[in-house]
Amino acid sequence: FMPVKSMLGTDLITKSKFREKKAVVINCPFTGEPVCLVPSIRPDFSIIHVQRVDMEGNVQIDGIVGEDGELAKAGKKTIVLAEEIVDVELTRTNPQATVIPGIYVDYVVECPWGSYPMQVYNYYDLDLEHIRMYYTQCKTEEGWQKYLDEYILSVENHMGFLKKIGIERLLKLRARKPFGY
């Protein structure tokens, strides 16, 4: 469970359709102040995208790790999408870079440019132009449908999507080491 104060004084507890015992208010054992307890999240599966993973599922993340470690441990099954699958020997020679051990990973998928149009540190920068286009276009249902038709439904798979974006555009986004983006 997790204690949260943000739900106190709101209708989320009193009028929301929480199932019984999904949100409980108690007095904090340390301060005596009211605090709301909510159950931990246990998704059927967690999907994370990282820089590198080996075939045993050992994940290496460059830069900010964020919540990926917790997410990998939370899911009943964890799927790791990676920019590249590397040899196990590489992860063994640099064990301090392994932030999620393979014991928490169920499936490994090599997925280059898998975070596009967002960025992956040391691999590519974000495509701000595409993000702005998406944001502007998807303000309406018709715009969203147009984006869906053009970039998702009209392509067979992720590689088809990347071809639609264009190799020249993607190459301009490649990271310049040692800067990371």
Q: Tokens in use for 33?
A: 């102040």
Q: Quick check: bond before 117 cis, omega within 30?
A: yes
Average pLDDT, the chain: 93
Whether 27 shows a pLDDT value over 90: the answer reads: yes
Identity of residue 136: T
Identity of residue 96: Q
Whether 82 shows a pLDDT value over 90: the answer reads: yes
Whether 17 shows a pLDDT value over 70: the answer reads: no
Whether 19 shows a pLDDT value over 70: the answer reads: no
Whether 32 shows a pLDDT value over 90: the answer reads: yes
CA-CA distance, 28 to 32, in Å (whole number)? 5
Asked if residue 14 lies in contact with residue 41, where contact means CB atoms within 8 angstroms, the answer is: no
Domain ranges of the chain: 2-38, 45-110, 128-173
Instruction: Tell which residue, 92, 2, 111, 97, has the closest CA to residue 47.
Output: 111
Whether 141 shows a pLDDT value over 90: the answer reads: yes
> b or e along 3-20 (b: 16 or more beta carbons within 10 Å of the residue's beta carbon)?
eeeebeeeeebeeeeeee
Kind of pairing between the strands at 45-54 and 77-86 = parallel
Q: Tokens in use for 7?
A: 């739900």
pLDDT (mean) for 140-160: 97
Name every residue whose Cβ is closer than 8 Å to that of residue 4 and which is 6 or more positions away in sequence: 35, 36, 37, 38
Asked if residue 127 lies in contact with residue 134, where contact means CB atoms within 8 angstroms, the answer is: no
Q: What's the pTM?
A: 0.80
- Give the least confident one: 23-27, 56-60, 77-81, 115-119: 23-27
Asked if residue 74 lies in contact with residue 106, where contact means CB atoms within 8 angstroms, the answer is: no
